[in-house]
């Protein structure tokens, strides 16, 4: 089946820092999605990407759909404490299932 490799597995952020995470796949996807999940909640959609090479922003978040259609990255600029949580990439082929990565856990550095 389709497997997404998400890195890093975890990261510590200091308020004000820029952070970056990425996702690679052995398969091609038509859509890349980035979700954030807080404890006790379901994933919340942050950014959706629909075309190879597309660069999309949502506030302090920027994501890109790789030109090979097998990768994507997410950047968070000027991080704030509420950015902590688990970030998931997900790829979609056709009109149904999402294939998720294992997540990047973002924690505030004390």
Contacts with another protein, residue ranges (CB under 8 A)? 1, 4, 6, 31, 33, 35, 40-45, 48, 50, 88, 90, 92, 95-103
Shortest spacing between CB 42 and another protein, in angstroms: 3
> Which residue, 17 or 52, is less far from another protein as judged by CB?
52
Residue 81, φ and ψ in degrees, nearest 5 = -55, -35
Nearer to another protein, 62 or 92 (CB): 92
Minimum distance, C-beta of residue 48 to another protein, in the bound complex (Å): 5
Query: Is residue 92 within 8 Å of residue 33, measured between CB atoms?
Result: yes
**Minimum gap (Å) between residue 94 Cβ and another protein:** 8
CB-wise, 12 or 50, nearer to another protein?
50
Cα–Cα distance measured from residue 22 to residue 30, given in angstroms and rounded to the nearest whole number? 17
CB of 16 to another protein, least distance (A): 29
Which residue lies nearer to another protein by CB, 17 or 102? Answer: 102
CA distances from residue 106 to 36, 54, 70, 72, 81 in whole angstroms, order as listed? 10, 25, 23, 18, 10
Residue 108, C-beta contacts closer than 8 angstroms, at least 6 positions apart: 12, 13, 14, 15, 81, 84
């Amino acid at each position: 089946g389709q497997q997404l490799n998400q890195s890093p597995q975890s990261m510590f952020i200091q308020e004000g820092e820029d952070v970056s995470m990425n996702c690679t796949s052995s398969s091609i996807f038509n859509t890349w999605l980035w979700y954030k999940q807080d404890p006790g909640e379901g994933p919340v959609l942050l950014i959706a990407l629909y075309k190879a090479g597309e660069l999309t922003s949502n506030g302090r978040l920027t994501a890109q759909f790789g030109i090979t259609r097998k990768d994507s990255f997410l950047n968070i600029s000027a991080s704030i404490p509420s950015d902590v949580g688990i970030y998931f990439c997900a790829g979609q082929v056709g009109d149904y299932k999402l294939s998720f990565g294992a997540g990047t856990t973002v924690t505030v550095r004390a």
